[in-house]
Amino acid sequence: MNEKLSELYNAILDGDVAGAKAGVQAALDAGLEPGLILADGMIAPMKEVGKRFEEGEYFVPEMLIAARAMQAGMSLLKPHLVGSDVKSAGKVAIGTVKGDLHDIGKNLVALMLEGAGFEIKDLGVDVAPEKFVEAITVDGVDIVAFSALLTTTMPNMKVTIDAIQQAGLRDKVKVIIGGAPVTEEYARQIGADGYSSDASRAVSLAQALLAA
């Protein structure tokens, strides 16, 4: 791998915000193609972070700081990606469901998806069902992703799916769900297309659903 890209790769793996910014800038200054910087210097280390997390070598804090470093690097790279030939992997609207204010996990999922090339519409927290419906009709998203951290707000995932169904949009979009109290079984019960237990698996789930 190019030396500049391996410095960027290691900065993101270590969650080094300043190093990630410097790494992106150095790679741009060296004339490297933005798509290559994103793929080899930024998405690759996030994949490694996800792998280490799944293997129990990294934990949530390491994922968060790596995600923060990637986000810092992305803020510099984003303007250079516009108009380049990086193809979007798909559009995702993500939000924490109505009544729920937890957003750390949701932000992590959004970041990992963004790192994998998805366009993200972040609807924030306490998102009413009609906001998800609007994201499908107005923004034409391919996937809606719901996060819930409370057993009391989980039922709003089903309420939101029902709202999408009632708007006649259920076959236009894939619904994926996650959050600490959510399970695969619950996803099946409420008619979601997929469940993921963590941010890294949310990426492979979204990729698999759009490839199918």
Q: Are 35 and 85 in contact (CB under 8 A)?
A: yes
Terminal-residue alpha carbon distance, the chain: 32
Query: How far is it, in rounded angstroms, from Cα 65 to Cα 17?
Result: 8
Applying CB under 6 A, among 7, 98, 179, 203 the residue interacting with ligand B1M is 179
Q: Cβ–Cβ contacts within 10 Å for residue 165, how many? A: 12
160 makes contact with ligand B1M (CB under 6 A): no
20 makes contact with ligand B1M (CB under 6 A): no
Would you call 166 helix, strand, or coil by DSSP?
A: helix
User: In terms of CB distance, is 68 or 106 closer to ligand B1M?
Assistant: 106
Query: How far is it, in rounded angstroms, from Cα 66 to Cα 81?
Result: 21
Applying CB under 6 A, among 111, 176, 187, 190 the residue interacting with ligand B1M is 176
Output the smallest distance, CB 72 to ligand B1M, in A: 18
Stretch that binds ligand B1M, among 1-9, 44-52, 163-171, 175-183 (CB under 6 A): 175-183
Applying CB under 6 A, among 122, 198, 209, 210 the residue interacting with ligand B1M is 198
Would you call 124 helix, strand, or coil by DSSP?
A: strand
User: In terms of CB distance, is 117 or 178 closer to ligand B1M?
Assistant: 178
Output the smallest distance, CB 6 to ligand B1M, in A: 26
Q: Are 147 and 95 in contact (CB under 8 A)?
A: yes
Stretch that binds ligand B1M, among 14-22, 24-32, 33-41, 146-154 (CB under 6 A): 146-154
User: In terms of CB distance, is 18 or 180 closer to ligand B1M?
Assistant: 180
208 makes contact with ligand B1M (CB under 6 A): no
- Give every CB contact of residue 27 below 8 A, 6+ residues apart in sequence: 2, 4, 5, 8, 37, 41
101 makes contact with ligand B1M (CB under 6 A): yes
User: In terms of CB distance, is 24 or 149 closer to ligand B1M?
Assistant: 149
Applying CB under 6 A, among 30, 60, 138, 208 the residue interacting with ligand B1M is 60
Long-range Cβ contacts of 28-33 (<8 Å, 24+ apart) = 28/76, 28/77, 28/80, 30/2, 30/4, 32/2, 32/4, 32/5, 33/84
In the complex, which residues of this chain contact ligand B1M (CB under 6 A)?
Answer: 60, 99-106, 108-109, 145, 147, 149-152, 176-181, 196, 198-199, 202
